[in-house]
Amino acid sequence: MTPRGDLEGKVAVVTGGAKGIGAASAEAVVAEGGRVVIADLDDEQGRALAARLGDAARYRRTDVGEREDMRALIDFAVEEFGSLDIMFNNAGITGAFHNRFLDDPLDDLERVLRINLASVMWGTQYAARYMATRGGGAIVNTTSIAALDPGFAIPAYRASKAGIINFTRSVAVDLGEYAIRVNAIAPGGIPTSMNSFVEPGLPPDMFADLQAQLEPIRLIKQPLKRPGKPADIANMLVFLASDRASHITGQVMVVDGGVTAGSTLNQTELLREARARFLNERGD
């Protein structure tokens, strides 16, 4: 997409900005004329990305699961760039995978809820307290279609992402009078380090091969047959953060290649075939 300067002069914080969706979003903010603070725990990748983006970017080591880190992050953005217009609460973890609920020890329940949900609440509150004093802003939270499309595995993740949706809508109602818009993005399956079903992360040289193996399985449920990309989510972030979305708040924007639009299983076809077989066998 050719940048249009949609975020000219705006200052953004992107959590989980060192990799994946967050990194693509930090790049998009700068490409659209904004400045960005990349917040993450991956110092190496975070610093490298900030260096590549130049003077419009800073890296700030932040554990989003620590309230004090989130407060300091907002202060840092304002000190460095003199403002804060966009807060992208994006960092998240899946927790360990256990395909069936009865086998899941739920060992990482508190950690997942803190990093995925409490962080969004702290980030929203600290950002909004600042934004309220200066005429508004845009807050965007990353949820997931895992919150909309119930299914197997990662129950703590699903619950945390569902919590983000209700929180986003509720706080949008509360913060509207300060011209603070709060929306969420629900990505579908995007091949990132998180979506490799491996914890801790896979060696980088194996990553592309694994994603190639996973791709056809991911696409079974997806009407649009192009795999999702981090940039697809970054495009939605740019839109929601820009003045083009100035009358949109409390919404969940789904970017999933159509996965939640409906099942790709053509049940009618299967039923018609079964009916024809049945009638044929009966000789009618």
Catalytic residue (one of 119, 157, 221, 242): 157
Exactly one of 42, 85, 108, 232 binds ligand NAD (CB under 6 A); which one? Answer: 42
Could you tell me which stretch among 18-26, 174-182, 207-215, 272-280 binds ligand NAD (CB under 6 A)? 18-26
16 near ligand NAD, rule: CB under 6 A: yes
- Give the nearest distance from C-beta 170 to ligand NAD in angstroms: 19
Q: Which of residues 159-178 bind ligand NAD (CB under 6 A)?
A: none
Q: How many CB atoms lie within 10 A of CB 48?
A: 14
Stretch of 1-9, 14-22, 73-81, 219-227 contacting ligand NAD, by CB under 6 A: 14-22
Q: Which region among 62-70, 148-156, 207-215, 270-278 touches ligand NAD (by CB under 6 A)?
A: 62-70
C-alpha distances in angstroms, 96 versus 56, 131, 200?
A: 36, 36, 9
Our finding on whether 20 is near ligand NAD (CB under 6 A) is yes
257 binds ligand NAD (CB under 6 A): no
144 an active-site residue? yes
- Burial bucket for residue 101 (CB in 10 Å: 0-12, 13-18, 19+): exposed
Catalytic residue among 10, 25, 126, 144: 144
The nearest distance, CB 46 to ligand NAD, in angstroms, is: 7
**Is 10 an annotated catalytic residue?**
no
- Per annotation, catalytic residue among 119, 161, 221, 242: 161
- Whether 161 sits among the annotated catalytic residues: the reply is yes
Which residues form the catalytic set?
Answer: 144, 157, 161
Residue ranges that bind ligand NAD, judged by CB under 6 A: 15-16, 18-22, 40-42, 62-65, 90-93, 115, 142, 144, 187, 189-190, 192-195
